[in-house]
């Protein structure tokens, strides 16, 4: 019992503040501003795993977790491609997933955009070239933007979304 009381009242080793918090907050505010300009009030993303090792999915799930809470910046992940503005693909497209990837894309309202997240989806991963893999997402779908990394961090994903929306604004496709 003594150890517990000492632990409660002793000086903590961690400050309780994450080092990237300030940078994340500033990036999030920039993201919210771009979402408002390009998509109105919110950006709906449908994430599709086309044969990955789940590293990019873990980082995407972290974005929805309470620490990051990306929904406060106007970005939400939706369960149906019919409700999505953007299809976010992770993993190299395997032969078994090719039809599912194409059906998901076909179910999206137009205009729809495709973003490849992670090295495998960008066509640069370890799995590319193996017998069961077709390649990156661009082998099956028209990819509009790529966010490389193995896996990209939540902050890199947010910066990638900002760059994607800046590209849309410059091209006038929004």
Q: Where are the domains of the chain?
A: 18-171
Confidence tier at 14 by pLDDT (50, 70, 90): very low
Q: Global pTM?
A: 0.84
Q: Which of 88, 86, 97 is nearest to 51 (CA)?
A: 97
Q: What pLDDT, on a 0 to 100 scale, did the predictor assign at position 18?
A: 53
- Name the residue with higher pLDDT: 4 or 31: 31
> End-to-end alpha-carbon separation of the chain, Å?
61
Q: Decide if 81 contacts 87 (C-beta within 8 A).
A: yes
Q: Is the pLDDT of residue 19 over 60?
A: no
CATH number of 18-171: 3.40.50.12280
Q: What pLDDT, on a 0 to 100 scale, did the predictor assign at position 31?
A: 92
154, β-bridge pairs:
none
- Average pLDDT, integer, range 123-128: 81
Q: Decide if 116 contacts 146 (C-beta within 8 A).
A: yes
């Amino acid at each position: 019992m003594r150890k517990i009381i000492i632990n409660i009242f002793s000086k903590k080793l961690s400050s309780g503040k994450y080092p990237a918090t300030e940078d994340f907050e500033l990036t999030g505010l920039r993201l919210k501003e771009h979402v408002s300009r390009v998509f109105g009030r919110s950006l709906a993303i449908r994430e599709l795993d086309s044969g990955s090792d789940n590293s990019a999915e873990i980082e995407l799930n972290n974005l929805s977790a309470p620490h990051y809470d990306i929904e406060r910046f106007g970005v939400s992940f939706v369960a149906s491609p019919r409700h999505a503005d953007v299809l976010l693909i992770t993993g190299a497209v395997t032969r078994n997933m090719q039809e599912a990837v194409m059906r998901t894309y076909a179910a999206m309202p137009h205009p729809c955009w495709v973003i490849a997240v992670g090295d495998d989806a960008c066509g640069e991963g370890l799995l590319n070239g193996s017998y069961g893999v077709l390649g990156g997402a661009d082998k099956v779908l028209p990819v509009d933007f790529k966010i490389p990394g193995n896996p990209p961090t939540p902050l890199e994903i947010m910066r990638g979304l900002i760059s994607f929306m800046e590209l849309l604004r410059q091209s006038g496709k929004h």
